[in-house]
Amino acid sequence: MDLAEIWRVMRRRWYVLLPGLLLTAALTTAVHLLIPVEYQSQTTVTLLNSSKATEAFDGNPFLSTQASLTGMADGLARNLNSDGAKADLKALGVTGRHEVKIADNAQGPFMWLTVTGTDPAAVLTSGELLAAYADKRLGEFQTQQSVAPEAMIRMATIVPPQKPEAQTKTRIQYIVMVGALGLVLSLVATFYVEARRRTPRGKERPAPDGAPAAVPAAVTPAAVPAAATPVTTDETIALRTVGSGGAGSP
């Protein structure tokens, strides 16, 4: 079946295709309205060595990096993603979802603090609250271990909470999926109706396995053409006897 034939079928069975397309448009519109746009804000922080550990570098913490700082960043991220931290952040007024992890391709103890929600203003505020809470938790860890203040690891903000950006990827994926599914089902219904209309109505279906075959109706004499009936004709044959040795007389 070429494109021209497909187009002719679609035009001929428009009464099947059109309702399907209208229903698909309604569903995609519903998905567009029901799935809200999400916004995301990200903060980048880093862990710095203690002031005591940077004395050999004239107090510059960026010249003193240790592998232990990356380990501490990983532990802090895991704690901030825990259920207890989520409850604390919710009590502080953080809305939406948050995620804390070591920054991708980081060459040091850099962390990403990400907040996602449907209200841009609330997302930005939540990002600031999350950064403050992370700094607080870092101090609490070290206080619990009786670390002297001058030996404590510090946190510095590299990139403050960014302006929330719309995240439309998931929403577009759902819209495309619903639209494609509706289009495919509409076309399938259209060609199904076309196939049913093209099937001869008087065509006998094969008998199922084990069922007796249909017996043809008995042929009645009336159904036999008259030309096929043999005709019997009585004929009288006159025999002329010829006498032996002489002419015969009638």
Q: Worst-scoring range by mean pLDDT, 100-114, 152-166, 194-208, 209-223?
A: 209-223
Q: What pLDDT score does 208 carry?
A: 52
Contact 157, 132 (CB under 8 A): no
pTM score over 0.85: no
Q: How far apart are CA 33 and CA 147, in angstroms?
A: 53
Instruction: Give the mean pLDDT of 141-153.
Output: 91
Q: What are phi and psi of 134, to 5 degrees?
A: -65, -45
- Residue (of 98, 125, 133, 122) closest to 112 by Cα position: 98
Mean pLDDT of the chain: 82
Res. 38 pLDDT band, cuts 50 70 90 = very high
Arithmetic mean of pLDDT, 56-81: 85
Averaged pLDDT, 35-48? 94
The residues facing 41 across adjacent strands are 115
Angle in degrees, CA 82, 87, 92, rounded to 5: 125
